[in-house]
């Protein structure tokens, strides 16, 4: 393209990349601190992947069972993550999530209610008490709409006070950021382009908050939308940040498996929370066979007790369908491999025999709708076919828990799925929406504090030229490969070699194949012009997904154990040696390099929340502080 591409120049105090729950909550906080904030939306405002969250927001409000509290929630989160969580993040999350849910009500959210008129809370995998605030099975939509409307209300106030609704808080929809810019080691802004006209955008801003969500599109079968291409993960790596524990991916146990066009679409865990059971093709309720030792005293080993639990939770153990997601996904995988799968390679999930049709339609309306319209299955009458789908990445940008500041990059922050550490090796359902709000708010506050103590920034002409050249590159090349074809190839590699069950030889193969595909991705060429061109856009996404895939494969090959969302066929057990180690991935400009780092040491008062016998299952003797943990 010979014509000069117009460039818009913008100046803000804080730039938030991502307009899901975390990004919008961060923007609200930074604006309330008096700053001028820009929000970058990859899609239209209000379409972020947060809308897909179905089950609910985990917060220990104790509305349904008053025994609940932050300490119980903290324990459940650490257990779910197999003690690889950053303890401080899990602690802040457990303590602050009730306030984050309650404040949504003051912004207009309408949660389902208990008989007393409080926010209703439902059961979910790994949560000891009913804990998930919800709106039917469309909780994420409620969250995103509430945040969207909160932003609008702040803009209306700015219009009253300053005459212009967008003077302090502006949403840039359908914009893609290709680079976080730094000068003298500090963040000074970001560069990107706008799809509706192809114009380039320069943001000068001393603080950039990454809230870009997940990486699912790196994999073939995923519940993620087109946006989940690891943009923030890659932007952080390229800006000099670290990614922690990228080997941990959550394969949600229940995605749709049939028809092929809906393969991977999420079937909410609420189906099991409301009483749905998993059976194989022989009609066996197989989950009883898959209760791991560490969970034996919390989960029922027979159907009678599991069924009683729905009515009396104090005197019965939970049904094993409600084990953490990693356990259920592995169990389904094993059943299918053993030849006991459903006709289309999944297992059966059934609510129809346990819950009346009208209750199913009321509590799980979008599931009913989804199966009826897309698969021709009436879930009030027949079972669903389900199987694992790539859903969530536990790994992400290494951050300071209290401020969400990215380690090693002054001015960069990260919150939500793009940040690592909070969920350890496996995330509990419901802990994502609360994570978005708790750490979105902290990132907004952290960035605001940082900006108030920083100098105005200026992006150099050389940086601008460099960033613009990179954007123009795919059109300058000719005869390169089709980006869609390369995307499919990358997905095949990750699906086949870095999937649910991994081995050394396959991971080695993956690393080599990823290195080989990098050269081809760097030579991609695209057709058409810049105007709303998905092929052009995919060429940038591909680059991001490649870095994610490389980080995941290289982290997975060194972690020689199985834990949470990382299962090694050749190292099938948890290894306490690895319990104390985070994998830290960084980028040297040519390739991803992974090294190990000790987990931060949990203070004694948090150790004391656990029974010593439980701690001994996870931690080595040397790690246990003297007299820590309660002896029962």
Residue from 32, 99, 183, 481 binding another protein (CB under 8 A): 99
Distance separating alpha carbons of residues 492 and 332, to the nearest angstrom: 21
Site size for another protein (CB under 8 A): 69
Per CB under 8 A, 108 contacts another protein = yes
Q: Decide: 569 and 557 in contact? Cβ < 8 Å.
A: no
Instruction: Establish if 372 lies at the interface with another protein (CB under 8 A).
Output: no
Spatial contact of 243 and 551, defined as CB atoms under 8 Å apart: yes
Q: Is 185 left (phi over 0), alpha (psi -120 to 50) or beta?
A: left
Q: Are 23 and 6 in contact (CB under 8 A)?
A: no
Based on the residue annotation, tell me whether 272 is a catalytic residue of this protein. Answer: yes
**Closer residue to another protein, CB minimum distance, 301 or 378:** 378
Q: Write the DSSP assignment of 298-312 as a string of letters.
A: TB-SSHHHHHHHTT-
Dist CA 375 CA 385 (whole Å): 10
Binds another protein by CB under 8 A, chosen from 32, 33, 43, 65: 43
Provide the mask over 454-483, with x wherever binding to another protein is found by CB under 8 A and - wherever it is not: ----------------------------xx
Q: Helix, strand or coil for residue 632?
A: coil
The nearer residue to another protein, 288 or 532, going by C-beta atoms, is: 532
Taking CB under 8 A as the criterion, the residue among 535, 558, 576, 616 binding another protein is: 535
**Among residues 155 and 212, whose Cβ is nearest to another protein?**
155
CB atoms within 10 A of CB 568: 21
Asked if 252 is an active-site residue, the reply is yes
Rounded to a whole number, what is the distance in angstroms from the first to the last CA of the chain?
A: 73
Place of tokens 């053993």: 338
| CA-based radius of gyration for the chain | 24
Alpha-carbon gap, residue 437 to 418, rounded angstroms: 13
Piece of 8-16, 146-154, 204-212, 213-221 that binds another protein (CB under 8 A): 146-154
Residues 580-609 that bind another protein (CB under 8 A): none
The 3-class secondary structure across 150-168, one letter per residue, is HHHHHHHHHHHHHCCCCCC
Which of 8, 105, 378, 560 binds another protein (CB under 8 A)? It is 105
Closest CA to 103 of 23, 4, 19, 28: 28
Residue 65 within binding range of another protein, rule CB under 8 A: no
From the list 272, 442, 563, 579, the catalytic residue is: 272
Q: Select the residue interacting with another protein from 26, 27, 135, 244 (CB under 8 A).
A: 135
| CB nearer another protein, residue 84 or residue 367 | 367
DSSP 3-state assignment of 358? helix
**Please, which residue, 485 or 596, has the CB nearer to another protein?**
485
Angle at CA 71, nearest 5°, toward 581 and 101?
105
Helices (H), 352-426: 357-363, 365-374
98 binds another protein (CB under 8 A): yes
**With binding defined as CB under 8 A, does residue 265 bind another protein?**
yes
| Interface segment toward another protein; rule CB under 8 A; list 1-9, 105-113, 238-246, 573-581 | 105-113
Contacts with another protein, residue ranges (CB under 8 A)? 43-47, 49, 51-52, 61, 98-99, 102-103, 105-108, 110-113, 116-118, 120, 135-136, 138, 141-142, 145, 149, 152-153, 155-156, 165, 196, 225-227, 258-262, 265-266, 366, 369-370, 373-375, 482-485, 488, 526-529, 531-536
Q: Annotated catalytic sites, by residue? A: 252, 272
């Amino acid at each position: 393209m010979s014509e000069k591409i117009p460039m818009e120049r913008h100046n803000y105090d804080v730039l938030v990349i991502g307009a899901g729950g975390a990004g919008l909550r961060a923007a609200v906080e930074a604006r309330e601190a008096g700053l001028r904030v820009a929000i970058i939306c990859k899609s239209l405002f209000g379409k972020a992947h947060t809308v897909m969250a179905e089950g609910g927001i985990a917060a220990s409000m104790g509305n349904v069972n008053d025994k609940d509290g932050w300490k119980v929630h903290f324990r459940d989160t650490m257990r779910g993550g197999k003690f690889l969580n950053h303890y401080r993040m899990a602690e802040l999350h457990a303590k602050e999530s009730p306030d984050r849910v309650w404040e949504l009500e003051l912004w207009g959210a309408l949660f389902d209610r208990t008989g007393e008129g409080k926010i209703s809370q439902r059961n979910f995998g790994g949560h000891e008490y009913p804990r998930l605030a919800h709106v039917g099975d469309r909780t994420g939509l409620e969250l995103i709409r509430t945040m969207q409307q909160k932003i609008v209300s702040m803009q209306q106030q700015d219009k009253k006070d300053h005459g212009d609704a967008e003077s302090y808080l502006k949403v840039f929809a359908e914009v893609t950021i290709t680079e976080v810019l730094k000068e003298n080691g500090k963040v000074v802004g970001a560069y990107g382009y706008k799809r509706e006209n192809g114009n380039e955008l320069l943001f000068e801003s001393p603080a950039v908050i990454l809230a870009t969500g997940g990486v699912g599109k790196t994999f073939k079968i995923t519940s993620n939308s087109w946006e989940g291409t690891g943009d923030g993960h890659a932007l952080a790596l390229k800006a000099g940040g670290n990614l922690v524990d990228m080997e941990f991916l959550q394969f949600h146990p229940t995605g749709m498996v049939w028809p092929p066009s809906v393969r991977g679409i999420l079937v909410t865990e609420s189906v099991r929370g409301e009483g749905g059971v998993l059976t194989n093709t022989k009609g066996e309720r197989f989950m009883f066979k898959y209760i791991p030792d560490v969970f034996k005293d919390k989960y029922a080993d027979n159907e009678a007790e599991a069924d009683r639990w729905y009515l009396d939770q104090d005197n019965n153990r939970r049904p094993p369908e409600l084990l953490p997601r990693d356990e259920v996904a592995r169990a389904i995988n094993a059943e299918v491999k053993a030849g006991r799968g459903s006709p289309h390679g999944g297992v059966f999930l059934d609510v129809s025999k346990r819950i009346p049709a009208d209750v199913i339609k009321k509590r799980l309306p979008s599931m009913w709708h989804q199966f009826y319209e897309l698969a021709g299955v009436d879930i009030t009458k027949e079972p669903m076919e389900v199987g694992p789908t790539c859903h969530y990445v536990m790994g992400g940008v290494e951050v300071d828990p209290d401020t969400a500041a990215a380690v090693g990059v002054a001015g960069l922050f990260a919150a939500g799925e793009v940040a690592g550490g909070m969920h350890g090796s496996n995330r509990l359902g419901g802990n994502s929406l609360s994570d978005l709000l708790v750490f979105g708010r902290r990132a907004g506050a952290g960035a605001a504090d940082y900006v108030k103590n920083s100098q105005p920034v200026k992006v150099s002409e050389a940086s601008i030229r460099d960033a613009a050249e990179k954007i123009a590159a795919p059109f300058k090349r000719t005869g390169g490969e089709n980006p869609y074809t390369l995307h499919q190839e990358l997905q095949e590699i990750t699906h086949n070699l870095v999937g649910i069950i991994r081995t050394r030889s396959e991971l080695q193969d993956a690393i080599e194949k990823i290195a080989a595909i990098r050269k081809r991705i760097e030579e991609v060429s695209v057709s058409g012009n810049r105007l709303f061109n998905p092929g052009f856009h995919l060429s940038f996404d591909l680059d991001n997904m490649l870095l994610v895939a490389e980080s995941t494969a290289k982290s997975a090959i060194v972690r020689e154990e199985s834990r949470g969302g990382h299962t090694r066929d050749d190292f099938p057990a948890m290894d306490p040696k690895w319990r104390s180690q985070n994998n830290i991935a960084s980028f040297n400009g040519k390739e991803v390099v992974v090294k190990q780092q000790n987990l931060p040491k949990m203070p004694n008062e948090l150790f004391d929340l656990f029974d010593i016998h439980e701690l001994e299952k996870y931690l080595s003797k040397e790690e246990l502080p003297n007299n820590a943990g309660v002896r029962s």
